[in-house]
Structure 1
Amino acid sequence: MLVSGKVVVITGASQGIGRACAQEFAKYGATGLVLHYLGDPRSEEDVQSLKKELETDGRKVATVPGDISDPSTSQKIVAVARETFGRIDVLVSNAGICPFAEFLTMPLETYHKTRAVNLDGSFYVTQAVANLMKEQNPQGGSIIAIASISALVGGALQTHYTPTKAGVLSLMQSCAIALGKYNIRANSVLPGTIATDINKAHLSDPQIHNSNVSRTVLGRLGAPDDIAGPVVFLASDLAKYVTGASLLVDGGAFVNLQ
């Protein structure tokens, strides 16, 4: 039970990687989960089904709706965690969007929204949770941000997205330095192409799908649970001396140059 007894906050938890992380933390012993979600009808339905699934064996699950790009959402997340559990041991900053768009014709609103959700939202929730974790010193905590392989490479339809993920990677590196004295670890996970709702339409093109598969050395796209395992590892005491690190989880796509 790698995370036995831990209280875990996950943003963007209703679907995809966030949902898989919640399931994996429950599998490995987390006793408290705070699941953030956007709050629209679909995410409401999804998160309530997840809550029902995970509330077994004495495990308690709290849910918090809201736009992560609004700073007040992160304050609500911490308030609910404090009231329900009294602490936060792990933060998984996962909420993000990736609306594919051409650079030269991209509406500025697309750029601003992507930055606000992916980078600003990560900053807000990390700062809010870290302040509670600071109070828990010397216990501290573990912060894991979901960045992307796109933090390291470019994409013609991702000129607004890749800078946000590079920013998330850099944010975790700097937070590792700023928060180490409070025994708070900060790391990032960099997924490759993971088949989720965020890219379902993009990957529905057979040529795009096959191109992404061929770039991996394992011969398949990633699944959300491929990311959840490394996240739980970074949250656990197995990684107690790991901070400021970035873990690439891409099926070998990055190294497959030749």
Structure 2
Amino acid sequence: MGRFDGKVAIVTGSTSGIGRATAILFAKEGAKVTITGLPNETANAEEVKDECLNVGANTTDILIVLGDIKDPEIQDKIIDDTISTFGKLDILVCFEIYMCSNISPFLVRST
């Protein structure tokens, strides 16, 4: 049993670097994970998804949502798609600097 079994996490900036490593760790520990990145990072996002599957996640445990996080519509899409797919949101990890300085849209929601 993983530390995050049954939890749902969004990891912004998860197509590279520490965001990528964090998304993979959440998946390894049993969380359902939403991978986010820029629209031109499809290949990177798919690689992260594959790595999540390699550490034990199921295909249905991983969601990819790409877009420019500075756009409030993309912020809403990330949340809405996550909740629509997994039924809730437990954890939000921001590795996108813009998102961290403008996080209030995420905090006003309840799942």
Q: TM-score range by the shorter chain?
A: 0.7 to 0.9
Q: Give the whole-Å Cα distance in 2 for the aligned partners of 1:66 and 1:29.
A: 25
Structure 2 equivalent of residue 52 of structure 1: 50
Q: Give the whole-Å Cα distance in 1 for the aligned partners of 2:71 and 2:26.
A: 26
SS in 2 for 1:63: strand
* Paired residue total: 107
Matched-pair identity in %: 31
Q: Give the whole-Å Cα distance in 1 for the aligned partners of 2:7 and 2:67.
A: 24
Structure 2 equivalent of residue 129 of structure 1: 106
Instruction: Name the Cα RMSD after superposition.
Output: 1.7
2:28·2:52 contact (CA, 8 Å) conserved in 1? no
Q: Give the whole-Å Cα distance in 2 for the aligned partners of 1:24 and 1:65.
A: 20
Report the CA distance between 1:73 and its aligned residue. Answer: 1.3
Structure 1 equivalent of residue 38 of structure 2: 38
The C-alpha deviation readout for 1:143-168, integer Å capped at 9, x for no partner, is xxxxxxxxxxxxxxxxxxxxxxxxxx
> Which of structures 1 and 2 has the larger relative contact order (alpha carbons within 8 angstroms, sep 6+)?
2
TM-score, L = length of structure 1: 0.39
From the superposition, tell whether residues 36 and 57 of structure 1 become closer, same or farther in structure 2 (CA, over 3 Å): closer
Structure 1: 5+ residue runs without aligned partners?
96-117, 137-258
Name the larger-Rg structure.
Answer: 1
Structure 2: 5+ residue runs without aligned partners?
none
| Aligned AA (1:53) | E
TM-score, L = length of structure 2: 0.84
Moved over 4 A (4+): none
